[in-house]
């Protein structure tokens, strides 16, 4: 009987530790996303001013000079992509998918700063 109580006690501790680690891991991803979002520059109106990377356009491949409008459009699209990936990471975090959350977060960071290596 004592032996069963000890096993149950050890099992309970192990389960509690696993839950604590899982919660900490989920918080790790969420915390990184919050920190990253707060570090993104915005103007006085709250509009994002950061510029991420985007794929090269066909016009650029054909060596056409960009217009002011095409540059602004590319900036907005890259910002929207980064923010969409962060939303996806947050959703994955809420689902308890830590690895997928961290992978999505790394993609967002890489789009903002390709030299960081993720």
Show pLDDT as tens, one digit a residue, over the chain (118 residues).
555 545 555 555 545 444 444 444 546 899 999 999 888 888 898 887 777 766 666 776 777 788 888 888 888 898 999 999 999 999 999 999 999 999 999 999 998 887 776 5
- The helix/strand count (H/E) of the chain reads as 4, 0
Query: Hunting for tokens 């919660």 — which residue is that?
Result: 23
How many other CB atoms are there within 10 angstroms of residue 77's CB atom? Answer: 13
- Tell me how many domains the chain contains: 1
Domain that holds residue 12: 2-116
For the entire predicted model, the pTM comes to: 0.67
Give me the pLDDT at residue 8, please: 52
Sign of the alpha-carbon torsion through 23, 32, 102, 97: positive
Q: What are phi and psi of 38, to 5 degrees?
A: -70, -20
DSSP state of 46: S
């Amino acid at each position: 009987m004592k032996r069963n109580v000890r096993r149950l006690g050890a099992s309970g501790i192990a389960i509690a530790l696993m839950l604590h680690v899982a919660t900490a891991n989920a918080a790790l991803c969420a915390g990184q996303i919050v920190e990253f979002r707060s570090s993104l520059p915005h103007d006085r109106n709250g509009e994002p001013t950061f510029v991420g990377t985007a794929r090269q356009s066909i016009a650029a491949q054909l060596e056409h000079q960009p217009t002011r409008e095409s540059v602004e459009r590319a900036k907005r699209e890259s910002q929207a992509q980064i923010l969409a990936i962060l939303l996806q990471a947050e959703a994955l975090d809420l689902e308890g998918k830590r690895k997928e959350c961290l992978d999505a977060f790394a993609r967002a960071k890489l789009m903002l700063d390709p030299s960081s290596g993720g």
